Amino acid sequence: MSAGKKLEGKVAVVLGAAGQDNMGQVIARRFTDEGARVVVAGRKLNELERFAKTIGGAAFQCDITKKEDVEALFAFAKDWGGHVEIAVNATGWGLLKGFTETTVEEIDQITDLQFKGPFYFCQAAVDTLGKGGSIIQISSATATIMLNDHAAYMGTKAGTDHVIRCVAHEFGERGIRANSISPGLTETPMTAGAKDVPGLFDSFLSGYPLGRIGTKDDIAAAAVWLASDECFMTGQNLQVNGGLTLRRNPTREEIQAAVVSATGQA
């Protein structure tokens, strides 16, 4: 291993990298910087191909809600790289909807995307990864702590965290590690609308003991460690959120008050 290259010689799959500068792309770029060869995947092939060229990787169109797509992704990655040691699922949908207003269609959609899809992903990963492989699921602090109007998102993320524990328990004897990372509020394309609301991000700050909102780079750094041979941890949910889960997210009323104060509009 070259000095400073923690992932030298490894091949990684990063699913959920079809949004420009989203969390999946930041993770993929950081993996590349650490010496890995990366297959980026998601639904938007044009963006995937554009990004893959910038990191010297490969692109593959994949809908995580389709088991055959996920299986084809890992087959492609193994053919392209010769082997696969790292599998990251960074897909998600930030559904914000009142509990009683959440529709049957929305529940089905988010279950397909954030529970069934990750289950397929883990199945394909354990069928592909060799000894010492690492599966990394991007979860959320809200799988642990509360946030209003987020029940379907939170429930599916929490369920997948437990699936990760099951994978770690069952496949540890093969040397496969499985862990999840839980960001708090993070500036990504998924939260762009919220970032544009004056005062909204500021309303979360008091919940962070380390005094700042997390970044995509924070999550990528944690993913590098989980993917590296230095990691002797499995079945865990890594809370990479500046201590947010020691405290809490703001209430609906606190968010509204912060927005009103920032805009001067009651």
**Residue 69 contacts residue 63 (beta carbons within 8 Å):** yes
Q: Under a CB-based contact definition with an 8 Å cutoff, are residues 117 and 110 in contact?
A: no
- Cα–Cα distance measured from residue 143 to residue 147, given in angstroms and rounded to the nearest whole number: 10
The answer to whether 153 is a known catalytic residue is yes
At residue 265, the 3 state secondary structure works out as: coil
List 74, 76, 153, 171, catalytic entry: 153
CA 109 to the chain's CA centroid: 18
Q: Which two tokens stand for residue 182?
A: 């839980």
Q: Which two tokens stand for residue 212?
A: 């700042």
- Do residues 27 and 223 touch, judged by C-beta distance below 8 A? yes
Contacts of residue 162, defined as CB under 8 A and 6 or more positions apart, other chains included, come to none
Backbone angles phi, psi at 181, to 5 degrees: -120, 130
Which helix (H) or strand (E) segment is 57 a member of?
A: none
Tell me the three state secondary structure of residue 203: helix
64 vs 33: CA distance, rounded Å: 26
Task: List, by residue number, the catalytic residues.
Answer: 153
